[in-house]
Amino acid sequence: MSNQILDIFGNMVFSDEVMRSRLPSETYAAMKRTIADGRRLDISVATAVADAMKTWAMEKGATHYTHWFQPMTGITAEKHDSFLNPAKDGTAITEFSGRELVRGESDASSFPSGGLRATFEARGYTAWDPTSYAFVKDNTLCIPTAFCSYGGESLDKKTPLLRSMEALNRQAMRILRLFGDTETKRVVTTVGAEQEYFLIRSEDFDKRRDLIYTGRTLFGATAPKSQQLDDHYFGAIKPRVKAFMEDLNRELWQLGIFAKTEHNEAAPAQHELASVYSEANLACDQNQLTMETMKKVAGRHGLVCLLHEKPFDGVNGSGKHDNWSISTSEGKNLLNPGDDPNENMQFLVFLCAVIAAVDDYQELLRASVATAGNDHRLGAAEAPPAIISIFLGDELSALLHAIENGERFHASEDVVMGVGVHVLPKIPKDNTDRNRTSPFAFTGNKFEFRMPGSSCSVAEPNIFLNAAVADELAHFADELEGAEDFDTALRELLRRTVKEHSRIIFNGDGYTGAWEEEAERRGLANLRTCADAIPRLKDEKNIAMLERMRVLSAKELASRCEILLENYVKILQIEAATMTDMINHDILPAAVKYSKVLSDGAAAKKAISSRLSICMEEKLLYSLSDLTDELYEVGIILSGHVSEVAKIKSSEEGALFCRDKILPAMRRARIAADEIEKIVGREYWCYPTYGDLMLGVR
C-alpha cells in the first residue's frame, strides 16, 4: 500500500518534478525564478510552459482547461474551454497558448463586488498564479489564478493573500538582516488546516428542506443519545465512513495534498481531516480543493458532507483550525525557540510582533472569521469565545513577565535566565497547550487560530494576520535600524511591547462569565455576531494598516465589508424563509394530523367511560394546541420580518435588523417546533430526526 501511495501522490499535479522533466532547462530555470522571486514571466517562456502543460494534461485525460479562482462567494469558480480548435482544412487541432495560460477573461457581473464595479464594467480578469501548481480535476486542467475587476481591484481571496505574504516577507527580511542573517532569501508564512465536517445519509438529507437550502438543521429536538458519553471522539471508524475516507485520501493524494490525520470528532457523525503544512497560498488553494473533494466523494458513497459550522443544535459544531507559522526559504521556523542567545532574541522579536499584531488588530481578526454559521459556534462548548486572546502557557508567559519587569527568569528546568541578549540561554518549548478555549494559542513553534469556521476560506484570516504582523515588524525594524546601540534598543523594544500588549495574553478558561468581565476591564473587544464584527473592517486603523502594507486599498476593504454584510443578511433571509416554509407545509400539518389522532382517542375513551374527567390524549392535545398556536403566530412574525428586511437599503442596518429581529424570532420558532416534535408520534413526524441524521451512518 505504501508503494501505491507514492505512485499516485501528486500524479495529477503539474509539479516541480513534472516541470523539470518536461521543460527545456532554460524555461524551467525561468519558471523557478518566477516562483522564488515573484518575477514577471516572459511570454515566450509562458508559451513553452503552456505547450508542455497541455501535453501533460491531455495525457491525464483532460479535454478542457479552466482558470480556477476564488471569488468572494467563499467557494471556487471555473469556466471551461476545450483545447480543441479548427484547422484550415476543416479538421481539428489542439492548442493552448502562453497568453491563454497567463490571462483569461470572465464575466464578473454575477460575482460579488461590493460596489467595486458598475454594470458597464462587468468584465473580470484572471491572472495565472505560478506559485500554486496547476492540476487536473474531472478531465479539466485547472490553473490557479487571481481574479480582478475591470478597474484592477481585487475581487478574490488569492490576490490580497499573495500581497500579505509579500508584505510579511519584506518586513521579516529587515529583521533578519538586523540579526546578521545574510543568507536567507525569502520569508514565507506556512499554514496547516484542520478540517472538521459531518457525514449523513443522502436519503436523510433529501428529506430535510433546511439542510438542502441552508446546510444546517433549523429544527430538531435533541436525540436521547448524542455526545454525552464522549464515545464517538477518537472512536473506531465505521466501515462506511472508513471507505469514504480511503476514497477521499486517494483523490487528495493524487492532487498533491498531504492529507495526514483522520479521526472521529466529538459529535456523532462528525469527523476531522488534517493536512501537513505548506506555504500559505498553496495551503489555502488545497483546503478549497479538499472541501470540494469531500462533497464529491461523499456523494459516491451515498452520503452528504456537511461543512456548515453548526449543522446540529446541542452538539459540537465544526471549525477549521488555522495553524500558522513563519519560516525562511531555507526551512528555518522563525517561531521556533533556538539553541543560542542570538536565536532566542530573534524568536522573541517575532513572538512579540505577533502578540502586538493580535492585540492591535483583534477586531480585524474577529471580522475575518465572521459568518452567519460561525455565530452559532463561537462561545459554545466546542469553540473559543468571540473575544480574541492569546494563550502562551506558563513558561513563555513567565518569561515575558520577567522581560516586562526587568527581572531574572527561572525556567522550569531550574535554569535562571537573564533577559539580556548575551545571557539568555535556550528557551524551552512550551508543551502545555491543553486550553481548548483559547482562540489564538502558541503551540511550540506555531500559532493555532481556532476561530475560523469549517466552511470558511483560510485565506481571509491569513490575509489579515500576515498584514498585521508585517506592520508590527515594520515598526520594529524602523526603530532598531536607527538605534545607536542595537542590544539596548532591542531590550527596550521587547520590554515596552510586552508591557503595552500584555492585556491580550490569557491562559485561563475562556468560557466563563468571569473572563468576559475581565476582558471588558482589559479593553478587549467582544464582538458576538457578524453585525457587530464585520463593520469593524472599516475602522480607520485597519484601513491605514492594510494600505500601508499594500494589501488592500480602502476601496477594496469597503467592498469586502459590503459583500460580507450582504451575505449575512441574505443567509438569514433564506433561513427565515425556509423556516416559515417548513412551519406551514411540514410541521403544522403533521401536528394537525396527530391532533386528530389524539382527539379521536380521547373521544373513544370517553365513550367507554363517562366518569373520565380528562385523559392523557386530552392533556397532550392541550399542550400541542398551545404549541401550534405559538408556532403559527411566530411564523407570521418571521414572514413579516423577511419582507421587512428586504426593504432595508443599508447593509449595516439590514445586518442589525437580522441580529435583533430575525434571529430572536427564529429561536422562538425553533423552541416551539422542537417541543411539538417531542409530542407528535414518530410515524406522523415530517422529516428525519436528529437520531436518524447523526446515528444513521453505520
pLDDT over 80 at 444, yes or no: yes
Alpha helices in 255-340 (DSSP H): 280-300
Q: Return the closest-CA partner of residue 288 out of 126, 514, 135, 469.
A: 135
The predicted pLDDT at position 151 comes to: 73
Write the CB contacts of 215 (distance below 8 Å, at least 6 apart in sequence).
306, 307, 308, 311, 373, 455
226-234 own/partner pairs: CB under 8 Å, 24+ apart: 226/267, 226/268, 226/314, 226/315, 226/690, 226/694, 227/266, 227/267, 227/268, 227/315, 227/316, 230/266, 232/264, 232/265, 232/266, 232/267, 232/268, 232/270, 233/264, 233/265, 233/266, 234/263, 234/264
Alpha helices in 369-512 (DSSP H): 372-375, 393-405, 459-481, 486-501
Interatomic CA distance for residues 548 and 507, integer angstroms: 32
pLDDT over 60 at 637, yes or no: yes
The amino acid occupying position 81 is: D
CA 358 to chain centre: 18
Grid cell listed for 478:
524602523
Q: Return the closest-CA partner of residue 327 out of 165, 188, 154.
A: 188
Q: Return the closest-CA partner of residue 475 out of 187, 65, 171, 75.
A: 171
Average pLDDT over residues 267-292: 94
Alpha helices in 301-392 (DSSP H): 341-360, 362-368, 372-375
pLDDT over 60 at 426, yes or no: no
3-state helix, strand, coil in the chain (%, to 5): 50, 15, 35
The predicted pLDDT at position 234 comes to: 86
The pTM score is 0.92
Q: What separation in angstroms does the CA of 398 have from each of 344, 392, 653?
A: 15, 9, 45
Interatomic CA distance for residues 428 and 337, integer angstroms: 7
Q: Return the closest-CA partner of residue 103 out of 124, 128, 80.
A: 128
DSSP conformation class of 242 = H
Q: Are 221 and 677 in contact (CB under 8 A)?
A: yes
Q: Return the closest-CA partner of residue 684 out of 602, 601, 598, 581.
A: 598
Grid cell listed for 242:
472508513
Interatomic CA distance for residues 567 and 654, integer angstroms: 11
Q: Return the closest-CA partner of residue 585 out of 646, 643, 631.
A: 631
- The CATH T-level fold of domain 567-695 is Four Helix Bundle (Hemerythrin (Met), subunit A) (1.20.120)
Grid cell listed for 150:
475591470
Q: Are 310 and 218 in contact (CB under 8 A)?
A: no
Helix (H) or strand (E) run with residue 453 in it:
none
Torsion of the alpha carbons at 51, 57, 58 and 62, rounded to the nearest 10? -130
DSSP conformation class of 535 = G
Instruction: Please state the φ and ψ torsions of residue 127, each to the nearest 5 degrees.
Output: -130, 130
- The CATH T-level fold of domain 164-552 is Creatine Kinase; Chain A, domain 2 (3.30.590)
Least confident of 90-94, 174-178, 249-253: 90-94
DSSP 34-62: HHHH-PPPPHHHHHHHHHHHHHHHHHTT-
DSSP conformation class of 11 = T
Q: Return the closest-CA partner of residue 450 out of 508, 385, 527.
A: 385
pLDDT over 50 at 423, yes or no: no
CA 10 to chain centre: 24
Interatomic CA distance for residues 698 and 693, integer angstroms: 11
Interatomic CA distance for residues 104 and 2, integer angstroms: 40
The predicted pLDDT at position 608 comes to: 82
pLDDT over 60 at 427, yes or no: no
Choice between 121 and 148, residue whose per-residue pLDDT is larger: 148
Least confident of 112-126, 141-155, 180-194: 112-126
Choice between 170 and 444, residue whose per-residue pLDDT is larger: 170
- Counting every residue written for the chain, the total comes to 698
Grid cell listed for 192:
496547516
Q: What pLDDT digit, counting tens, does each position of 494-528 carry? A: 999 999 999 999 999 888 889 999 999 999 999 99
The amino acid occupying position 622 is: Y
Q: What separation in angstroms does the CA of 377 have from each of 287, 319, 340, 381, 526?
A: 20, 8, 42, 8, 15
CA angle 618, 622, 626 (to 5 degrees): 165
CA 155 to chain centre: 18
The predicted pLDDT at position 36 comes to: 74
Interatomic CA distance for residues 587 and 687, integer angstroms: 9
Choice between 551 and 338, residue whose per-residue pLDDT is larger: 551
Average pLDDT over residues 472-493: 95
Q: Return the closest-CA partner of residue 189 out of 476, 509, 371, 461.
A: 461
Confidence grade of residue 60 (pLDDT, cut at 50, 70, 90): very high
Extents of the domains making up the chain: 2-155, 164-552, 567-695
Confidence grade of residue 456 (pLDDT, cut at 50, 70, 90): very high
Burial (Cβ within 10 Å: 0-12, 13-18, ≥19) of residue 346? buried
Q: What pLDDT digit, counting tens, does each position of 368-405 carry? A: 999 999 999 987 666 788 999 999 988 888 889 888 88
The predicted pLDDT at position 542 comes to: 97
Q: Return the closest-CA partner of residue 372 out of 659, 664, 661, 73.
A: 659
The predicted pLDDT at position 115 comes to: 65
pLDDT over 50 at 419, yes or no: no
Q: What pLDDT digit, counting tens, does each position of 239-253 carry? A: 999 999 999 999 999
Q: What separation in angstroms does the CA of 399 have from each of 336, 343, 344, 406, 420?
A: 15, 16, 12, 10, 12
DSSP conformation class of 111 = S
If DSSP codes are grouped into helix, strand and coil, which group holds residue 204?
A: helix
Interatomic CA distance for residues 123 and 325, integer angstroms: 37
Interatomic CA distance for residues 191 and 291, integer angstroms: 16
Interatomic CA distance for residues 282 and 258, integer angstroms: 11
The predicted pLDDT at position 148 comes to: 85
Grid cell listed for 443:
503551540
- The CATH T-level fold of domain 2-155 is Ubiquitin-like (UB roll) (3.10.20)
If DSSP codes are grouped into helix, strand and coil, which group holds residue 65?
A: strand
If DSSP codes are grouped into helix, strand and coil, which group holds residue 310?
A: coil
pLDDT over 90 at 432, yes or no: no
